[in-house]
A and B are shown apart, each in its own frame.
Chain A
């Protein structure tokens, strides 16, 4: 038994030397995940360690691949909305909007201003909610357990607002092609204002808890810096890019959905370490609150209904079904066959909580999309992880992964 262990294949030593020139310590390959609470999902990382130092890292993904893009090809255009919503499960309004925006571009459909404002309000509430989940789980990774409960307390309030306006807390199917599913109910606006006022105060408290916390600062400051030039090469967008000092935000740079009407700032970092990534997201919560307040204030002044008036695309109002034969026919055709979309291709990028979320839709002229593809920011941003953690400690890997904010539902789709 022991004799067989001593047998070493000829040239093995030379081979090992060739692959790892002069390791100071023996290199250890460690498997991290996929079922590990700090991976924020089912992400598997194959790390090569030299003692405590990460020398190489390869992300292995696909554990929650559910073929959503394939499923969407088998559905009518309107039936595909709830399917694509389930990709990035923290940013479902964004998924739905990217998809609907691409279909609207193919249809050359104009969305009423009022519907655009309702979309903005819900998108920004969703952004706050997504950042709260990120902040809570990231702080948990850094050892601040109580942050998790505080953040989920406010997240509940956002979910309550979603439940009020759409009937569902998650995967609401609120955004439709042409507008949104329904107008907001009475009392929603007041509740929304109360929430933004509270959220600002809570964000102050979060900042007070973490910004002067020596443990958090030591874990985040000057850790895992990647310059913005490298981030751009790797296609990184969103808060990670802004943290490195590049003020790139599609809401400002290439406004869609009436974002040009609102006055807001783009928080940027200075050096692009983990602390900047944290600070940028925390600052974005305030900006989102400000956008929501402005949109809610102007809701009474903007024109149009909650959905486009095109009966070939949008469902007719419920009350018309009892009195109008034409409305009934439209309703029947839309629900059974769906609407046909002119052949062509469209790419519709928006700024999701994690970066550029683009939806590519190809139509072949039928009632089902011929191809739906999401350029998910988590999927692309994950490529930067190896660069970020190269040469740092395993503990910093955990902190960096938390600050990367990957959502595996979006990565694997």
Chain B
């Protein structure tokens, strides 16, 4: 992990190249986080790749309900040579949950962006194959959102499928 100073240096370099890209930095429990403007995510990841963070370890969605903007995306980058990790984070509103897809540049994000779309309803523009991945294709709603209730939904079996039961009520 870059220390607090190292993180500020990286953020400053990014700010010098594009004044609007970096919104904030956060250093918590030895983990460095850069919070970026959603539209600049592809550019930021590319700049960090040039710095050696060439492995996208994980991509995950978060719902910050009741805070606004509610939805968040996290990109865990890893530098395999310096053994260093950095997290890039962005936040979008539920009304327009659009994030540029990083799949064309980082093929590993394919399944993980589909999962975030499936679970949180974040729409990745430019994703080659944005479909639900874990939930059924005709499922309605985004189950990992915080205001989605746990339990209480009917389970679709073959016997009630013919009776017109649906996944959601």
Contact = CB atoms under 8 A, between A and B. Distances in A.
Given A62-B135, A380-B112, A383-B111, A253 B80 contact: yes
B108 to A, nearest CB: 3
Contacts, number: 100
B150 interface: yes
A344 B56 contact: no
A346 B63 contact: no
Interface string B133-155: 11110000001101010100000
A356 interface: yes
Interface in A389-413: 412-413
Most buried by A among B33, B76, B80, B108: B108
A347 interface: yes
Q: Is the interface of A mostly helix, strand, loop or mixed?
A: mixed
A347 B76 contact: yes
A40 interface: no
Interface size class of B (residues with CB under 8 A): 35 or more
Contact of B108 (A62, A69, A235): A235
A62 B134 contact: yes
A347 B88 CA distance: 12
A105 B119 CA distance: 26
Nearest to A387: B107
A346 B143 contact: no
Interface residues of A, number: 39
B74 interface: yes
Contacts of B133: 61-62
A71 B60 contact: no
Interface of B: 28-29, 31, 33, 54-58, 60-63, 74, 76, 80, 83, 85, 87, 106-112, 115, 119, 132-136, 143-144, 146, 148, 150
Given A345-B28, A362-B62, A383-B111, 6 more contacts: A61-B133, A73-B146, A253-B83, A345-B74, A379-B111, A380-B112
Interface of A: 61-62, 65, 67, 69-71, 73-74, 105-106, 108, 232-236, 248, 253-254, 344-347, 349, 356, 358, 360, 362, 370-371, 373, 375, 379-380, 382-383, 412-413
